A and B are shown apart, each in its own frame.
Chain A
Amino acid sequence: MNGSGRITAQSRLWSRLVQIAFLAALLLLWFLATNVWGVSRILLPRPANVWDQLLNVLGSGAFIPDLRVTLGELVAAFAISMSLGVSLGYAISRSQYLIRVFEPLLAAIYAIPIILFLPLYVMSFGLGPNSKIALGATISFFPIVLSTIAGFGHVDRTLQTAARSMGASDLQMFRHVLLPAALPVVLAGLRMGFTVALLSVIASETIASFAGLGHRIVDLAENMDTARMFAYIVFVIAIVAFLNAVVSKLEGRARWR
């Protein structure tokens, strides 16, 4: 028991070392490719230049206008998909028949890469934030509505019957039976919807727009300013990771209550 425990701890340490070595090897390869082997700087900037640019972007606050655009679009898109997804999902979940009519339909649409319809959204809503909000709301609507249906629609029958037979009112049913049972599933759907909305907003900025973080990366790529582009990519990846971590934390905390 004790011995095997020590072996796992030891092998875990070795795994960490392998991981660090792997990432360090990648960095070294990047350094060698740009500083020694002379790979074109337009294709691959030097690590030091990227670092300088990153400090410059962060220090000068140059990222603020783009970040504000992207976050604004994200908040609007998520607000729309959350309110529509949760309310429609709840309405559908109240009837097993409606679930059987709508759930397969929504799941089928969710399987299509909806980003395909971006050109239609751009045509109707223009190149500005509205098309990004509409697309982000559309794409994130599906995980939210599907998980709301799954959460509220599949609450244990015996629990519901038991509560009813003990004379629970509709409100009490909702508060003490349906909501606690459904909440974890719905929250997981909301978290997924948030991530999907964020990625869709950035994707539509990348494909067609004139503002936002996605647009900034494309703009720098077109100007062959690759060092700054890499810096922005690092920044955006960090922002996405940060927002996802915040949302996961919120989900965990809400689930505890």
Chain B
Amino acid sequence: MAVSGATRVAAAPAASALSDRLIRHPGIARLGVVVLLFIVWELAARFYLDHDFISPPSVVLMSLGKLLATPGVPSALWLTLYEIAIAFVLAVIVGAAVGLAVGLNRFANQSFMPIVLLLYGIPQITILPIFVLLFGIGAAAKIAFGVSHGMFPIMIAVAAGVQKIEPVLITSARSMGASRWQLLRYVVFPHMIPSFFTGMRLGMSGVLLGVLLAELYVSTAGIGYFTSIFTENLDPTKLIGLVSMLAAIAIALNEIVRRAELHYARWRD
């Protein structure tokens, strides 16, 4: 309701001045679209739709405190964040190591890249039950599933980045007597930075997908337990609140790696 009040104030200025500003700043219009969607959701949920299945955003927002007071919910959220963090670190380590090993050697690249691409092409959702059989319903299965989703894009981006380094740079460094380590440290690593960060961005969306899929799949613990309980109890307020908090976490993490990529990808220019 506070939201609809704010738009009434915004709609007050002279129409021509407003449309002028809107045309010069698409960002304002974009914000307007988002606000409008929330208003439609609010009104529809309040007056037309069944309260057993959907709640208006204002109610969801007001009940976030109650959701976080539900025993187990905060720890499930923290655990998910922890799983994402560990899975991301592992995916980066494994992805960068394999990507370097495969990318640095032309023969290795030619031999193992098709296998990496083949494995990356497998619809991993089909093997999620195997992860749970092997690792149980705890954090290990979710971390493992996150790693298996996140490591492939990193491998591919890192290997491609290493391959793209101009041979002249490597030859000249070698001819100046660079050791293998010096070659890596002063030629390969600096030139890999942009593709490494691209890989990390793609890896993060993979990790998020893997961890969240596994969290939703296991319905006896963690996030999946609460989503199924809230669904069974027809408690849309808490369900939307929980899902929105996870979406907010995903958006924040994506944004961090995207900013990092924008920052470091500019390095060479």
A contact residues vs B (CB 8 Å cutoff)? 11-12, 14-15, 18-19, 22-23, 42-43, 97, 100-102, 104-105, 108, 111-113, 115-120, 122-124, 198-199, 202-203, 206-208, 214, 217-218, 220-221, 226, 229, 233, 236-237, 240-241
Q: Which of B33, B123, B126, B129 has the most CB of A within 10 A?
A: B126
Proximity string of chain B (6-38) to chain A, C-beta cutoff 8 Å, 1 when within and 0 when not = 000000000000000001001001100110000
Contact call A111/B123, Cβ cutoff below 8 A:
no
B53 at the interface (CB under 8 A from A): yes
B residues 125-157 in Cβ contact with A at 8 Å: 125-130, 132-134
Give the segment of B177-185, B189-197, B244-252 that binds chain A: B244-252
Contact call A218/B123, Cβ cutoff below 8 A:
no
Contacts of A15 in B (CB 8 A): 107, 110-111
Contacts of A229 in B (CB 8 A): 129-130
B residues 27-59 in Cβ contact with A at 8 Å: 29-30, 33-34, 53-54
Contacts of A12 in B (CB 8 A): 110
Among residues of A, the one whose C-beta sits closest to the C-beta of B49 is A124
B interface size (C-beta, 8 A): 48
B200 at the interface (CB under 8 A from A): no
A-B contact count (CB 8 A): 124
Besides A102-B33, A116-B212, A208-B216, 14 more A-B contacts (Cβ < 8 Å) are A12-B110, A22-B112, A101-B29, A101-B30, A102-B30, A108-B251, A115-B216, A118-B216, A119-B227, A119-B239, A119-B243, A221-B130, A233-B127, A237-B123
B120 at the interface (CB under 8 A from A): no
Q: Which of B54, B123, B213, B227 has the most CB of A within 10 A?
A: B123
CA distance A23 to B39 in the complex (A): 56
Give the segment of B89-97, B164-172, B229-237 that binds chain A: B229-237
16 inter-chain pairs at a CB distance below 8 angstroms, sorted by A residue, are A14-B107, A15-B107, A97-B23, A101-B26, A111-B254, A113-B205, A116-B247, A123-B236, A123-B239, A203-B213, A206-B126, A206-B128, A207-B216, A207-B224, A229-B130, A233-B130
CB-based closest 9 A-B pairs: A221-B129, A100-B26, A119-B227, A15-B111, A18-B111, A15-B110, A203-B125, A101-B29, A101-B26
> Which DSSP category, helix, strand, loop or mixed, fits chain B's interface?
helix
Contact call A19/B125, Cβ cutoff below 8 A:
no
Contact call B33/A101, Cβ cutoff below 8 A:
yes
Contacts of A236 in B (CB 8 A): 123, 126
B residues 194-247 in Cβ contact with A at 8 Å: 205, 208-209, 212-213, 216-217, 224, 227-228, 230-231, 234, 236, 239-240, 243, 246-247
> Which DSSP category, helix, strand, loop or mixed, fits chain A's interface?
helix
Contacts of A124 in B (CB 8 A): 53-54
CA distance A126 to B205 in the complex (A): 28
Q: Which of B217, B227, B234 has the most CB of A within 10 A?
A: B227
- With A105-B33, A115-B216 known as contacts, the answer to whether A214 contacts B111 (CB < 8 A) is no
Contacts of B122 in A (CB 8 A): 237
Q: Which one, B123, B132, B209, B254, contacts A221 given CB within 8 A? A: B132
Q: Which one, A42, A111, A122, A217, contacts B126 given CB within 8 A? A: A217
CA distance A118 to B213 in the complex (A): 10
Contact call B243/A19, Cβ cutoff below 8 A:
no
Contact call A111/B53, Cβ cutoff below 8 A:
no
Contact call B126/A116, Cβ cutoff below 8 A:
no
Q: Which one, B34, B132, B228, contacts A105 given CB within 8 A? A: B34
Among residues of B, the one whose C-beta sits closest to the C-beta of A22 is B115
Contact call B230/A19, Cβ cutoff below 8 A:
no
Contact call A120/B240, Cβ cutoff below 8 A:
yes
B65 at the interface (CB under 8 A from A): no
Contacts of B26 in A (CB 8 A): 97, 100-101
Among residues of A, the one whose C-beta sits closest to the C-beta of B124 is A199
Among residues of A, the one whose C-beta sits closest to the C-beta of B216 is A207
Contacts of A208 in B (CB 8 A): 216, 228
Among residues of B, the one whose C-beta sits closest to the C-beta of A111 is B254
Contacts of A18 in B (CB 8 A): 111-112
- With A14-B107, A207-B217 known as contacts, the answer to whether A105 contacts B54 (CB < 8 A) is no
CA distance A174 to B22 in the complex (A): 29
